[in-house]
Chain A
Amino acid sequence: MKYLLCPPGFSGFLTAIYHSYYGHKDAAGFEPDTAARNFIDEYVPISDAPALAHKVKDAILEKGGADFYRDLYDAYRSGAADREQTLADYIRLFFKRGLAVRTMYGDAAVVAFNDMLRKVRHEVHRLAGFVRFREMQNGAYYAYYSSDNDIVDLLGLEFTSRFSTQAFVLHDYKRGKMCGYDGREMRLLPAPAKVEIQLSERERLFGSLWKQYHKNISVKGRENPRLQRGFLPKKYRHFMSEFDGE
């Protein structure tokens, strides 16, 4: 069996899609280039070719429109091991059936894609609420977090509109990615190996007021940790200041 090895980045993935229609029509599947290989199957490394990726992009835009393209682009943020395959199956079906794929809820490829996209968007929405900023001495705000999906820029966009003039740095520390905003424009930055933060003086006050508030607002006699865990999984709590020490 022949597998196409996709380089990182959406453009690289679209290049692989291009090759699956021209040149490697016999490819059986898609894998990220970091995937484990065996010596029975054949692996074809694909290198990112923006010109070819653009052809695929244009074809998708023409047939599906900007919203549909956005769905694919967002789903690509997924941290799932089989995201290339899931996306490729969906795109193949889309080129056959058009936008009807969006509502073919009985089809396994569509279900898999919709699940993947929903997980990405759900995590963006959740983290837009869960990420905690700390004020630094220079007046800018810093937040670190970790997530299942690669969403630092999507989250960054949420916060630029929320804070408008507030400079901030958003740090996905597991992926080593940062997103910075100076009050005017947002930029993606590579994260330094070590981050040292000087907190502002009043940061301690707000941090402790918040912790106290979080504890006091809960009604005694109604404790329900299982319900709490369902809404706020433990995997996110280590970067949320109110759960300090949990």
Chain B
Amino acid sequence: MEILPTMALDERLKVLTEGAKYDVSCSSSGSRRGAVKGDTGGCHAGGMCHSFTADGRCISLIKLLLTNHCEFDCLFCVNRRSNDIPRARLTPKEICELVIGFYRRNYIEGLFLSSAVEKSPDHTMQNLIDTLIMLRGAYRFRGYIHVKAIPGASPHLIDLAATYADRMSVNIELPSDTGLKLLAPQKKKDMLLAPMRRLTDIVLQNNGLPPAAVKKLPAGQTTQMVIGATPDRDGQIIRLTEALYRKMHLKRVYYSAYSPVSDDSRLPMTPPDLKRENRLYQADWLLRFYGFDADEIAGTNENLPMDVDPKCAWALKNIGRFPIEINSASYEMLLRVPGIGVTNAHRILTARKHGRLTFDSLKKMRVALTRAVYFITADGEYRGLGDKPDLIRLRLTDKQFLLPEGGGVQLGFFDGLTEAAPQKPFLPEAFSL
């Protein structure tokens, strides 16, 4: 069903929001662009949230598809060609009017523009660029712009888009080549990796430049993958993530727990596994801010534990390295203590210059002692349970795994047995980058 351009703007906006909302990335951080008299908008380095939706996610950018007419038929995607949904498109001018109108009312921080692949990748990429040129040029918009690089688009078009955008992204879609072959047969691994590499090259050219001299992609590159549509293990996902950060220099990797948008038998019909998504993000944080390597977080064919977060899991496995004395431990080791984050690790380093820190001082500094207490001594004092990882694990277990009611998951006696059986008939292999 085609919704013609002559149809009401609100109808088309609805259709094209529907198509864009499974893109998780909504951050408006990473660019610092001061206001200029006569222009509209600027960027905060830390980004800004303007609202939060019923699913608890932030609205920072208006997320739109230029069109949801798609040549591709990726099974996990709501816009796949074979899906019987209303189709629509917005003109560049309509998008500019929406962005400026929303921005002036302080609804948003900027634009997240994507598109289904209509006609050809180059045709689609050119349409995206035309919109950005109009928004930055005629509408003099200096706010945040995140635009998708279309897989298969020519390198020169990707370069051109990068001159107008703060951030670009190509979705790697699925964590393994096998998954891609099964669920997105028209998308080849190289078709996704080529534009990502191009973006990496652009981002690397910014290295060493003063912020004001950075003209292309000041907020870098991101990607996202669907979790739970294929049987890929967390260990593989975390290794892929590590490679994306360390070899491709991405700013963020987003995970999206698969929500059933198709009744194809190749896809699971279960509701999105939000806890798993949450654990993967925790692991992602460990890679980026806590100095962890993928090997320390999970073995290649392992999944992350669900009952405790990955940092607790590491600490319990390495209980022999604890407790550490808070007044003498290194920054790297402080960061490994469950309950101590980056902010508090820095605070501890500074505060201990003024005198010995005790449990009382840690409490004042808002260290999460309920977790940290098993892994530290403060001025010689120890309040933990000793070398008893099983006991500590119970204390650190998320409440939902202990309470039989209240929407939580109850762990049955036989759960360990069923989990060991393979969930799907084939074994995936991770991307090599």
Contacts and interface: CB of A to CB of B under 8 A. Distances in A.
A125 B56 contact: no
A105 B360 CA distance: 11
A215 B17 CA distance: 10
A165 B38 contact: yes
Contacts of A164: 35-40
A213 B105 contact: no
Contact of B42 (A111, A130, A161, A202): A161
B275 interface: no
Interface string B102-120: 1011110100000000000
The interface size bin for chain A is 35 or more
A159 B56 CA distance: 26
A224 B51 CA distance: 14
A105 B347 contact: yes
Contacts of A190: none
Given A106-B354, A141-B105, A221-B259, A231 B56 contact: yes
Contacts of A208: 10
Nearest to A131: B106
Interface string A20-38: 0000000000000000000
- Could you say which of A141, A213, A225 has the most chain B C-beta atoms within 10 Å of its C-beta? A213
B274 A222 contact: yes
A165 to B, nearest CB: 6
A129 B46 CA distance: 12
B18 A216 contact: yes
A198 interface: no
B54 interface: yes
B21 A217 contact: yes
Nearest to B24: A219
Given A135-B104, A213-B17, A217-B59, A162 B52 contact: no
Contact of A106 (B18, B62, B260, B364): B364
Contact of B54 (A103, A228, A240, A241): A228
Given A130-B51, A206-B102, A213 B350 contact: no
The interface size bin for chain B is 35 or more
Interface of B is mostly: loop
Interface in B19-43: 21-22, 34-42
A161 to B, nearest CB: 4
Interface string B351-364: 10111010011001
A147 to B, nearest CB: 15
A132 interface: yes
A159 B106 CA distance: 9
B14 A129 contact: no
A126 B212 CA distance: 27
B294 to A, nearest CB: 27
A242 B98 CA distance: 16
B105 A105 contact: no
A137 interface: no
Interface in A214-239: 214-228, 230-232
Contacts of A135: 104-105
Contacts of B208: none
A106 B351 CA distance: 7
Contacts of A219: 21-22, 55, 57, 259
Contacts of B9: 209
A108 interface: yes
Interface string B336-375: 0000000000010011011101001100110000000000
Contacts of B52: 227-228, 231-232
Interface in B273-288: 274
A210 interface: yes
A128 interface: yes
A135 B104 CA distance: 9
Contacts of A225: 54, 56
Contacts of B36: 164
B51 to A, nearest CB: 6
- Could you say which of A106, A111, A133, A240 has the most chain B C-beta atoms within 10 Å of its C-beta? A106
B55 A223 contact: yes
A132 B55 contact: no
- Could you say which of A134, A162, A221, A230 has the most chain B C-beta atoms within 10 Å of its C-beta? A162
Contacts of B51: 129-130, 214, 232, 240, 242
Interface of B: 9-10, 13-14, 17-18, 21-22, 34-42, 48-59, 62-63, 98, 101-102, 104-107, 109, 259-260, 271-272, 274, 347, 350-351, 353-355, 357, 360-361, 364-365
17 contacts: A103-B354, A106-B351, A106-B364, A125-B48, A128-B48, A132-B107, A161-B42, A209-B9, A213-B13, A214-B53, A216-B14, A216-B21, A219-B57, A222-B57, A222-B274, A224-B54, A231-B56
Interface of A: 100, 103-106, 108, 111, 125, 128-135, 141, 143, 159, 161-166, 202, 206, 208-210, 212-228, 230-232, 240-242
